Amino acid sequence: MKISQILNNNTFSLSFEVFPPKTDTSFMSVKTAVEEIAKLKPSFMSVTYGAGGGTSKYTLDIAKDIKETYGVPTLAHLTCVSSSKETVKEKIREIENAGISNIMALRGDIPQSMINDDRSRWEYTHAIELICQLKEFNKDFCIGAACYPEIHPESRNQKEDIFYLKEKVDAGCEFLTTQMFFDNNLLYNFLYKIREAGITVPVIPGIMPITNANQVERALKLSGSFMPQRFKSLVDKFGSNPEAMKQAGIAYATDQIIDLYANGITNIHVYSMNKPDIAEKIQSNLSCILGTQNI
């Protein structure tokens, strides 16, 4: 099933993200965790491509397993920045052969070793080139792209960021998933601005449950997200107690989701980070809400 159909059907959707293993030896443990999450029957699951510490090697195997064994619609991520057009074409062919039609088209972070390169020699500089290539390859692919309520770290300002975001949508991207954020007002503000700029596709807020104190610094560095005082207090109070921090982090993420839903947002993506217990807890915290479906 196409993700665009799930997002546009006027019911609440809750999706989870997983990442592939970093090493061959951790494949089985990741597979088990992913399967536990798939058994929760989320609206769909996304599998990252070389992000969150995972490699790109197993993205497709995992995505295929989720779809075929558990019948959960799957979104396979694909990045392009350090690749050649030929290599990416081969990857696209593999995705298509695996029967996956939902693709998250990303540029990827620029590797440190390429920062000072002459970019005119690169085969890809931005995600839009991948979106165009995907559409040319198969116009029936359902393509998603990333967006940044607090602007992408490389952008000079939000106006410029939204200008390029619109280009991605105009090139054929059917939905957007946001970078993590911890203050819903930032999302509401962003939505207002992109709608004003003429971007009308569904936007799925990406919610990251921060469940241990060590995660905080890394997550904020990666995303450049603002940390509200309410969240800081929670980390200060519970950061040294792993069980309490986990409970508080899940409660914070649940609270964000409930507020989003109450404000008319019907699709939520949770960065569940291969943690079935956290995915399960968030889903069960929302059980009555998921049950109401009176949008």
Is residue 20 involved in binding ligand FAD (CB under 6 A)? Answer: no
Residues in the chain, total: 295
Tokens representing 82?
A: 């350090």
Closest to 61 (Cα-Cα) out of 82, 42, 25, 34: 34
Residues 66-85, mask of contacts with ligand FAD (x by CB under 6 A):
-----------x-x------
Residue count, binding to ligand FAD (CB under 6 A):
24
Determine contact, residues 144/75, Cβ cutoff 8 Å. Answer: yes
Tell me if residue 115 falls in helix, strand or coil: coil
The residue range among 100-108, 234-242, 249-257, 283-291 that interacts with ligand FAD, by the rule CB under 6 A, is 100-108
CA angle (47 as vertex; 44, 51 as ends), nearest 5: 145
Binding-site member from 22, 39, 135, 152 for ligand FAD (CB under 6 A): 152
What residues from 177 to 206 belong to the interface with ligand FAD (CB under 6 A)? 177, 179, 206
Catalytic residue among 17, 129, 150, 174: 17
> Which are the contacts of 119, defined by CB distance < 8 A and separation ≥ 6?
125
Q: Which of 67/107 has CB closer to ligand FAD? A: 107
Q: Is 86 among the residues known to form the active site?
A: no
Distance CA 6, CA 246 (A): 30
Name the minimum Å distance from CB 24 to ligand FAD.
19
Strand arrangement of the beta sheet that strand 175-178 belongs to:
203-204, 175-178, 142-147, 102-106, 74-79, 45-47, 13-18, 267-270, 206-207
Binding-site member from 35, 61, 96, 109 for ligand FAD (CB under 6 A): 109
The residue range among 66-74, 161-169, 235-243, 275-283 that interacts with ligand FAD, by the rule CB under 6 A, is 161-169
Q: Which residues bind ligand FAD (CB under 6 A)?
A: 48-51, 77, 79, 106-109, 126-128, 146, 152, 154-155, 161, 164, 167-168, 177, 179, 206
Catalytic residues: 17
